[in-house]
Structure 1
Amino acid sequence: MTKLQLILDQLGSHIPDFEKTNPVVSQSTIGWQIDNSLLVINNVVDRLKDSDSKNYKWKFNKYRILIRITNTIPRGKVRVPKSVKPIDVATIEELKTKLELARKNIADIPTLPANSYFTHPFFGDLNVKPAIWFLKLHTKHHLKIIEDILNK
C-alpha cells in the first residue's frame, strides 16, 4: 500500500501547478490530470467497498494481460469514461479535498476482503490485488503526462 500512497503524494505535489497546460502534450491542464486520477482512485475504492466478494470470478482478458506485460497505458488510445471525466475545472481546494478522500480510501483497502472487486471497462473484474496494480498504473500514467507538461 505504501507505493500507492507515495504515488498519491507525488500527485498531490503538483496541485500548485493545476492551471498549467502544454497543448503539445495534452489539451488538458495539470489540474484535470490530477482530478481524473483522484476520481478514478475514489470511484474504484467505492466500487471495491460496495462489491459482494462472493460474486467475484476471475476471467481471462487479453487486454489486461497485454497491459500487465507492458506495464504502461498507451496515450490517446482510450476515451475517458463519463464517471471519471472531470466536467468542471477543479479548484485547488476541491483537489485537496479529493486528495484527502483518496488517502483515506487507500488506507481502507487493506481492510477489504481479497475478492472485493470492481469492473473495469476493458480489463473486466479486478479484485483487490489487481485493482491496486491498476490504480498505481493509472496514476503513474497521469504523473508522466504532468511531468511532460511541465518539462516540454
Structure 2
Amino acid sequence: MQNLQNLISQLESKISQFETTNLAVSGGSVGWHIEHSLKTIDQIVTACKNSNPSDYQWHFNFKRFLILTVAKKIPRGKAKAPKIVRPEGEINGDTLAVSVTKVRENLIGWKALDKNANFPHPFFGILNKKETERFLILHTKHHLIIIKDILKS
C-alpha cells in the first residue's frame, strides 16, 4: 500500500492548482480529478473492510486480466465514473485536504485485512485485496496523468 500512499501524496501536491481546467483534456478540473480519485479510494477501501472474505470466489474476467495484468493502464475516455464516486458540491483546497486526511485514516488497517477482503467492480467483477490494490494504484495513476495533461496548458 506504500505505492498508493505515494500516489495520494502526489494528488495532495496538486491541491493548490485545483481550479485549473483544460477542456481539450477533460471536462473536469484538477480538483475534480483529485476528489474523484480520493473518493474512489475511500469507497473501495470501505467496501473491502465491510466485505465478507468467505464470500469471495475467483472467476476469470477478461477485462480485468487485460487492464490490470497485461496493459497495466486504464484507457482514457472509455468509461464513466459511477455516481457514487463522482464529486458533488464545492471543491476547494480545504475540502480536498479533508478528503486526503479521510482517505489516509481509512487506509489504516489495510494490511491487516484478510487476503479475500473484496469489492464488486462494475467492469472487472469481484476483486480481492491484491487485485483491489492493483486497481487503486492504476486508477490513481490514470487520474494523475490526466491532471498532468491539464496542467501542461
TM-score class, shorter: over 0.9
CA deviation after TM superposition for structure 1 residue 109, in Å: 0.8
TM-score by length of 2: 0.96
Deviations, residues 91-131 of structure 1 (Å, cap 9, x unaligned): 21111111011112223210111111000000011111111
Q: In structure 2, what is the equivalent of residue 92 of structure 1? A: 93
Q: In structure 1, what is the equivalent of residue 51 of structure 2? A: 51
Q: In structure 2, what is the equivalent of residue 19 of structure 1? A: 19
State the alpha-carbon separation in 2 of the partners of residues 91 and 58 from structure 1.
40
State the alpha-carbon separation in 2 of the partners of residues 109 and 96 from structure 1.
21
Deviations, residues 61-100 of structure 1 (Å, cap 9, x unaligned): 0100110210111111101101101122322111111101
Q: Contact between 1:11 and 1:143, CA under 8 Å: does it hold in 2?
A: yes
Superposed CA RMSD in Å reads 0.9
Q: In structure 2, what is the equivalent of residue 30 of structure 1? A: 30
For 2:108, what is the secondary structure of its paired residue? helix
TM-score by length of 1: 0.97
1:60-99 counterparts in 2 under 5 A? 60-68=60-68, 69-99=70-100
State the alpha-carbon separation in 2 of the partners of residues 64 and 131 from structure 1.
11
Q: Contact between 1:30 and 1:149, CA under 8 Å: does it hold in 2?
A: yes
State the alpha-carbon separation in 1 of the partners of residues 147 and 75 from structure 2.
15
| Aligned residue-pair number | 152
- Among the aligned pairs, what percent are the same residue? 43
One-letter code of the match for 1:46?
T
Q: In structure 2, what is the equivalent of residue 101 of structure 1? A: 102
Q: In structure 1, what is the equivalent of residue 117 of structure 2? A: 116
Q: Contact between 1:117 and 1:131, CA under 8 Å: does it hold in 2?
A: yes
Q: In structure 2, what is the equivalent of residue 139 of structure 1? A: 140
State the alpha-carbon separation in 2 of the partners of residues 108 and 123 from structure 1.
24
One-letter code of the match for 1:60?
F
